[in-house]
């Protein structure tokens, strides 16, 4: 396909992405309003919104390691981050309702911010220590209430090498008393690179590792847990490359 053809194709995909996302968010918020619950609006993201965007991008999703996780329990999932389409892949791969740790700025984005706040997503605000502590306490209560949460502890989208893992998600796991599940995402950066909107069909592999216990740890040990989780993600990526 020529460069001009790809440009037109990606422009149409971007339009589809925006309209598809806005439509499903509006429907999810309506369901939330009518039912008063978050279960079905969250499931709509995994069963309708995410599959539509993956299919529209020509992405084939493979999921491995589901048997390693006890899905009846809440967990903190920590994944490497190559692309915005990682969120679609994780919504689709995780078989239980999933919430994400998001930057506070996203709360102000129309549609996405409205949905995230209504669904009880966890927002972080690095500029204010007092606000961060308050949000951490709220997030702990969400997890203790049975919710599973996913974070991208690199803090930004990586290009190639997995960056250092920041400690916030691991402090949440320690204080909530739940296990951390390392998750490796491979191929998403080729389907939708971090820069621009240049979609190319391809395969995305999501691989779940064995849960890492946080029992007996104290908050100042979060850095050690973060290093352990990063090593597990790197090993899972190597496993994907080998296969």
Q: What percent of the chain has pLDDT over 90?
A: 64
Statement: residue 9 has pLDDT above 90: no
CB 164 within 8 A of CB 80: no
pLDDT band at 129 (very low <50, low <70, confident <90, very high): very low
- pLDDT of 77 reads 97
pLDDT at 196: 78
Strands (E), the chain: 59-64, 76-79, 98-103, 122-124, 148-151, 180-186, 202-208
Predicted confidence band of residue 241 (pLDDT cuts 50, 70, 90): low
Check if the beta carbon of residue 194 is closer than 8 Å to that of residue 82.
yes
Query: What global pTM score does this model have?
Result: 0.91
153 burial (CB, 10 Å; 0-12 / 13-18 / 19+) is buried
Percentage above 70 pLDDT, the chain: 92
Residue 134, pLDDT above cutoff 80: no
pLDDT at 100 over 70: yes
The closest alpha carbon to 76, from 3, 145, 178, 164, belongs to: 178
Q: Is 10 exposed, middle or buried (0-12, 13-18, 19+ CB in 10 A)?
A: middle
pLDDT tens track for 153-183: 987 766 668 889 988 889 999 999 999 999 9
| Per-residue pLDDT reduced to its tens digit, 56-89 | 999 999 999 999 999 999 999 999 999 999 999 9
CA-nearest of 111, 54, 44, 114 to 87 is 54
pLDDT tens for residues 27-66? 999 999 999 888 899 999 999 999 999 999 999 999 999 9
Which pair of tokens denotes residue 91? 């919504």
Average pLDDT, stretch 207-236? Answer: 94
Give the list of residues 6+ apart from residue 158 with CB closer than 8 angstroms, or none: 80, 81, 82, 194
- Residue 21 reports pLDDT greater than 70: yes
Rg, C-alpha atoms of the chain:
18
């Amino acid at each position: 396909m020529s460069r001009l053809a790809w440009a037109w194709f990606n422009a149409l995909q971007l339009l589809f992405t925006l309209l598809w996302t806005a439509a499903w968010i509006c429907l999810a918020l309506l369901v939330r309003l009518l039912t008063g619950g978050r279960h079905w609006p969250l499931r709509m993201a995994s069963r309708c919104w995410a599959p539509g965007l993956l299919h529209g991008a020509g992405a084939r999703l493979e999921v491995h390691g589901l048997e390693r996780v006890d899905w009846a329990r809440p967990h903190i999932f920590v994944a490497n981050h190559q692309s915005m389409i990682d969120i679609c892949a994780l919504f689709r791969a995780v078989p239980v309702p999933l919430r994400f740790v998001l930057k506070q700025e996203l709360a102000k984005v129309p549609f996405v911010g409205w949905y995230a706040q209504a669904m009880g997503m966890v927002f972080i605000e690095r500029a204010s220590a007092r606000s961060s502590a308050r949000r951490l306490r709220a997030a702990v209560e969400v997890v203790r209430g049975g919710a599973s949460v996913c974070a991208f502890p690199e803090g930004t989208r990586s290009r190639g090498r997995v960056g250092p893992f920041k400690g916030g998600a691991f402090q949440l796991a320690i204080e909530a008393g739940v296990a951390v599940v390392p998750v490796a995402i491979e191929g998403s950066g080729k389907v939708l690179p971090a820069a621009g909107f240049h979609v190319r069909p391809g395969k995305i592999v999501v691989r779940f590792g064995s849960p890492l216990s946080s029992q007996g740890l104290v908050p100042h040990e979060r850095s050690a847990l973060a290093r352990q989780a990063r090593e597990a993600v790197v090993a899972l990526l190597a496993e994907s490359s080998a296969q």
